[in-house]
Amino acid sequence: MERLATEAACALYGAIFSKTVPVSSPATAEMTKLLENIYRSVNIALVNEMKQLCMGMGVDIWEVIDAAATKPFGFQPFYPGPGIGGHCIPVDPFYLSWKAQEYGLTTRFIQLAGEINENMPIFVVRQVARALNERSIAMKGAKVLVLGVAYKADVDDLRESPALVLIEKLQELGSAVSYNDPFFPFVGQGRRYALNMHSTPLEHVAEFDCVVVATAHSSYEMERIVAEAKLVVDSRNATRDITSPKIVRC
């Protein structure tokens, strides 16, 4: 039966894709998917932790990654950010850790990677607080604009977006938070959040105490945003080609 199901699935997907890869069982196929997603989770966690270390040492993590990527073998670049999103990478490490318990096993390495990535929005909030404090502005009552709520650039997908966690954490600290995202004129209630907010036009950038780059949509004109903003906390390296004392990269 499994052989017939595999042949049918290959025939279906073979009509759509240029290559199909049959495996011995559904369990193997599912574990393959988990491995691919957890591979990314672990490597993103690595660069997220390296970013924090590099910041403390005064080293540019983005330059480090670009330099390491010149090696022609043995290295694949992954990039830090405010956390991870989508329907797979934030969930799969914890699902596999839970499943492993049924077999009396633990997946400490995988679990740790998931926890590092989950905590990245809190790290960004701390950098926002520090940057505001250096300008004698309290978090409580500060007006903060979050740029981008999609989980990655140029997509209309909110699933598990770290920007939503970022907004909630800023609100918990008393900040007056708004957002802008060309893909989401309104954000209502989701599985883990209930924001009920409308996207704020970028014409109002100058009115905010801080602009936080959470998702670097290609439509954002960062030079103009930096010029008009009082402070920009950039968690995506969107301002890499801009030099300004207003910019705090994290």
State the CATH number of the domain containing residue 232.
Answer: 3.40.50.720
Asked, for residue 224, whether it belongs to a domain, the answer is: yes
Residues 112 and 126 placed together within one structural domain of the fold: no
Domain total for the chain?
A: 2
The pLDDT tens digits of the residues spanning 115-132 come to 999 999 999 999 999 999
- Both tokens of residue 28? 């193997």
Q: Which residue has the tokens 């600290």?
A: 173
What is the pLDDT of the chain when averaged over all its residues?
95
10 tagged catalytic: no
The pLDDT tens digits of the residues spanning 11-56 come to 999 999 999 999 988 899 999 999 999 999 999 999 999 999 999 9
Cα separations in angstroms, 168 against 4, 121, 131, 144:
49, 10, 19, 12
How much is the average pLDDT of 58-68? Answer: 97
Which of residues 199 and 8 earns the better pLDDT score?
A: 199
Asked, for residue 1, whether it belongs to a domain, the answer is: no
The pLDDT tens digits of the residues spanning 165-199 come to 999 999 999 999 999 999 999 998 877 777 889 99
Question: Of 91, 117, 143, which residue constitutes the final position of a domain?
Answer: 117
Predicted local confidence at residue 138, as pLDDT: 97
Report d(CA 213, CA 233) in Å as an integer: 6
Question: Of 95, 117, 139, which residue constitutes the final position of a domain?
Answer: 117
Q: Is the dihedral of CA 191, 194, 199, 204 positive or negative?
A: negative
Task: Point out which residues pair with 143 in neighbouring strands.
Answer: 176
Q: Are 199 and 145 in contact (CB under 8 A)?
A: no
Percent of the chain with pLDDT over 90: 88
Domain boundaries, position 81: 29-117
Residues 112 and 36 placed together within one structural domain of the fold: yes
Q: Are 209 and 230 in contact (CB under 8 A)?
A: yes
3-state secondary structure of 191: coil
Residues 175 and 95 placed together within one structural domain of the fold: no
Residues 208 and 105 placed together within one structural domain of the fold: no
Report d(CA 34, CA 22) in Å as an integer: 16
Residues 126 and 240 placed together within one structural domain of the fold: yes
Question: Of 100, 117, 134, which residue constitutes the final position of a domain?
Answer: 117
Residues 124 and 112 placed together within one structural domain of the fold: no
Answer yes or no: pTM beyond 0.85: yes
Report d(CA 91, CA 44) in Å as an integer: 14
Residues 34 and 96 placed together within one structural domain of the fold: yes
DSSP letter (8 states) at residue 128: H
**What are the phi and psi torsion angles at 185 (to 5°)?**
-65, -20
Residues 97 and 154 placed together within one structural domain of the fold: no
Which of 54, 88, 210, 250 does the annotation list as catalytic? 88
DSSP states of 90-103: TTHHHHHHHHHHTT
- pLDDT(207) > 80: yes
Residues 111 and 189 placed together within one structural domain of the fold: no
How much is the average pLDDT of 200-207? Answer: 98
Please state the length of the chain.
250
